[in-house]
């Protein structure tokens, strides 16, 4: 192992790169183990000193000191987790497996430190002291809640068992995500000749050619990247190939052998339930939601049930229409899940008079990035300037300087990593290399968006589907939450908010993509530069709720199974496959639709605790975002500066400085109902009974 004082380890020096961005060109896998070892030791010493301080408790010598501690570890963590997700190697994956239990044990030891919690608890009982401002009181409250929920008040036996549980869960979550990645990397379906390519538009063929080049082969390759799978299922005429791709996609983590995740799911569910019981909760769902905006599983289920009834009715009506088209074309088979997108595209052409292939030439990635930046400029007065001098982890990564417009105050840096590649985990997410805070000087954020768009052929633009463009806006909404953060303490910076509130800034931002003035300005043909024809634009807007029943059903089914798994009080034995079937039967899931995320590849829930018992959050936040956008519509100006300023101050800039309900009331003056969501999804009126 490299010595801890090794002079060639970039983690042991101050970074002199532009904006002190990590020197990615110098970082190697062998740097991480010694860097983590030193950072763990430094952090442990800092925590011991805080816990053993002889001075009476004060905010600064306890909470302030905790906020300043562990900075070397934080710096390493940001870099490692970005690379492990966006540009992994076998060496990094090995280190990730090794480090997961070490990190869990490290943080568990801190959160269950009795002396440290005693100091925090004493301060909490003095929290009304006039010396603390509102932000300090909130930070103190969050520390007290986090330590209590982590088991700080347990007896020694309980703490010991909890330590075992959290370490094991970390190992399992890492294994789960690596298994899914392995299954995704293992699948590549070559297509040969026009017969196998039949029906596929040029943009799909070009994406598959790019995927083939990425793997060092000629021709066209179907991978399990969602940005290739979904358009393939939408356009491919060969039903047998659609079935093969679909089955591989939904079977990630469910193929038997070393990458099968079912045993991992069963063990995680048992351990999470035991953890909740140790902490005094009936089950993990109650434990998780106690610190969320929803507060109880019943509240979350109430919303899901309300939407499910109408979404399922809508999906069944569409199913019948798809079956009719199938039969009109001479099909003598029943509609199957791998047929839905193919026949839905035909139904869209009938109902809405356009197809996805007609739209994509107008949704060039570069112009959609421009659209996202333009919207941020109109709403929040931001300007984005490309930076070529900032190091990045992959040649495809782009970097922008973010400032207040017209040469104003510097905000931070924004990194965009947009293209799918074998080294990248599937999906799209926002993360950071540095979070904003003002604890010791004005620390500017370094914010990252990671996506998996199919890269255009050499010399050709990358064309997006409308859902891809929506994903870009969604993740950029998260990025703005990090960039616009304006708080003193890291604990409440940026996206450090409740899971069912964190999606509000991202889902709200999606609304601007659908606005005619944005589409007229930026939806231009990639060859001619001509704007999208007005008729096509109006058809696109009119069709935004097309197939909404299907999309809502596949999402809700995943949210239900997540809550069901985590509502088990004492799950002695669990068969995840049988459990999935039971949930599907209970909600009367249409046979022609499969959960958007089946449990064996449900990374939101089983790659870590991020959305465990909280996948409902997207729908909960959609209630908020639909109502929040109505605040702009009510003014008659979707860029109304007064409303935008209030939005920035109360939501985007405030981080976790307030309880979510309080923050939303400050913006809107009240809490919303589900009515705006139902209207947005086209479910305002009950669908016909079926």
On whether the CB atoms of residues 293 and 661 are closer than 8 A, the answer is yes
On whether the CB atoms of residues 375 and 518 are closer than 8 A, the answer is yes
The torsion region of residue 406 among left (phi > 0), alpha (psi -120 to 50) and beta comes to left
On whether the CB atoms of residues 357 and 204 are closer than 8 A, the answer is no
Q: Checking DSSP bridges between strand 398-404 and strand 410-419, what pairing results, if any?
A: antiparallel
Which segments of 199-283 does DSSP mark as H helices, in order? 202-214, 226-235, 239-250, 262-278
On whether the CB atoms of residues 628 and 667 are closer than 8 A, the answer is yes
Question: At 365, phi and psi to the nearest 5?
Answer: -55, -45
3-state secondary structure of 387: coil
Nearest CA to 159 out of 43, 275, 285 is that of: 275
Helix (H) or strand (E) holding 185: helix 156-186
HSE on the CB side for 659, CA within 13 Å?
12
On whether the CB atoms of residues 273 and 284 are closer than 8 A, the answer is yes
Distance CA 572, CA 580 (A): 17
Distance CA 307, CA 312 (A): 9
Partners of 406 in the β-ladder: none
The residues that are catalytic are 475
Sign of CA dihedral 606, 607, 609, 612: negative
3-state secondary structure of 196: helix
Radius of gyration for the chain, computed over Cα atoms and rounded to the nearest angstrom: 25
Two tokens at 17?
């790169």
Distance CA 2, CA 30 (A): 8
Distance CA 310, CA 674 (A): 13
Return all residues near 107 (Cβ < 8 A) that are at least 6 apart. Answer: 150, 166
Distance CA 451, CA 131 (A): 45
Question: At 604, phi and psi to the nearest 5?
Answer: -50, -35
Distance CA 664, CA 293 (A): 11
Nearest CA to 595 out of 568, 622, 564, 561 is that of: 561
Two tokens at 361?
């030439």
């Amino acid at each position: 192992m490299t010595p801890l004082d090794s002079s060639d380890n970039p983690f042991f020096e101050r970074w002199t790169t532009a904006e002190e961005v990590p020197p990615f060109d110098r970082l190697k896998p062998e740097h991480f183990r010694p860097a983590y070892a030193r950072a763990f030791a430094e952090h442990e010493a800092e925590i011991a000193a805080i816990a053993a301080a002889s001075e009476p408790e004060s905010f600064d010598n306890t909470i302030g000191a905790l906020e300043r501690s562990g900075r070397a570890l934080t710096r390493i963590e940001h870099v490692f987790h970005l690379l492990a997700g966006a540009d992994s190697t076998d060496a990094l994956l090995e280190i990730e497996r090794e480090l997961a239990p070490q990190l869990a044990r490290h943080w568990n030891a801190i959160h269950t430190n009795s002396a440290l919690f005693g100091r925090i608890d004493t301060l909490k009982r003095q929290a009304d002291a006039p010396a603390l401002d509102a932000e300090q009181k909130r930070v103190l409250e969050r520390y007290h809640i986090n330590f209590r929920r982590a088991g700080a008040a347990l007896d020694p036996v309980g703490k010991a068992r909890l330590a075992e549980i959290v370490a094991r869960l970390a190992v399992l979550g890492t294994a789960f995500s690596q298994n899914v990645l392995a299954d995704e990397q293992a699948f590549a379906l070559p297509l040969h000749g026009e017969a196998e390519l039949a029906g596929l538009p040029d943009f799909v063929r070009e994406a598959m050619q790019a995927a083939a080049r990425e793997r060092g082969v000629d021709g066209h390759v179907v991978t399990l990247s969602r940005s290739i799978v979904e358009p393939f299922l939408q356009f491919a005429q060969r039903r047998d190939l659609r079935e093969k791709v679909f089955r591989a996609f939904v079977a990630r983590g469910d193929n038997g052998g070393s990458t099968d995740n079912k045993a991992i799911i069963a063990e995680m569910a048992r351990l999470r339930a035991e953890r909740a019981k140790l902490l005094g909760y009936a089950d993990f769902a109650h434990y998780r939601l106690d610190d969320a905006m929803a507060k109880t599983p019943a509240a979350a289920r109430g919303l899901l049930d309300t939407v499910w009834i109408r979404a399922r009715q809508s999906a069944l009506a569409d199913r019948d229409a798809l079956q009719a088209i199938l039969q009109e074309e001479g099909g003598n088979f029943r509609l199957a899940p791998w047929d839905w997108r193919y026949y839905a595209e035909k139904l869209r052409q009938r109902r809405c008079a356009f197809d996805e292939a007609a739209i994509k030439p107008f949704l060039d990635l570069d112009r959609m990035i421009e659209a996202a930046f333009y919207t941020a400029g109109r709403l929040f007065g931001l300007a984005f300037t490309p930076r070529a001098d900032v190091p990045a982890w992959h040649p495809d990564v782009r970097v922008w300087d973010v400032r207040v417009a017209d040469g104003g105050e510097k905000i931070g840096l924004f990194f965009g990593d947009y293209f799918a590649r074998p080294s990248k985990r599937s999906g799209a997410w926002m993360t950071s290399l540095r979070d904003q805070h003002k604890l010791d000087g004005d620390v500017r954020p370094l914010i990252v968006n990671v996506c998996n768009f199919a890269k255009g052929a050499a010399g050709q633009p990358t064309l997006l589907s409308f859902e891809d463009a929506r994903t870009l806006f969604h993740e950029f909404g998260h990025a703005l939450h990090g960039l616009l953060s304006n708080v003193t303490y890291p604990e409440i910076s940026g996206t450090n908010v409740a899971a069912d509130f964190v999606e509000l800034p991202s889902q709200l931002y999606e609304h601007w993509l659908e606005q005619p003035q944005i589409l007229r300005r930026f939806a231009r043909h990639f060859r001619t530069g001509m704007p999208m024809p007005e008729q096509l634009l109006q058809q696109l807007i009119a069709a935004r709720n097309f197939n909404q029943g299907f999309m809502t059903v596949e999402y809700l089914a995943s949210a239900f199974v997540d809550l069901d798994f985590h509502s088990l009080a004492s799950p002695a034995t669990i068969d995840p496959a049988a459990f999935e079937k039971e949930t599907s039967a209970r909600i009367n899931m249409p046979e022609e639709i499969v959960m958007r995320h089946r449990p064996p590849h449900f990374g939101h829930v089983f790659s870590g605790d991020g959305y465990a018992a909280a996948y409902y959050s997207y729908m909960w936040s959609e209630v908020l975002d639909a109502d929040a956008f109505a605040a702009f519509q009510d003014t008659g100006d979707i860029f109304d500066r007064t409303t935008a300023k209030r939005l920035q101050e109360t939501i985007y800039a405030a981080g976790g400085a307030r309880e979510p309900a309080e923050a939303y009331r400050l913006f809107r003056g009240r809490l919303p109902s589900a009515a705006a969501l139902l209207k947005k999804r086209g479910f305002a009126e009950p669908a016909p009974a079926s």
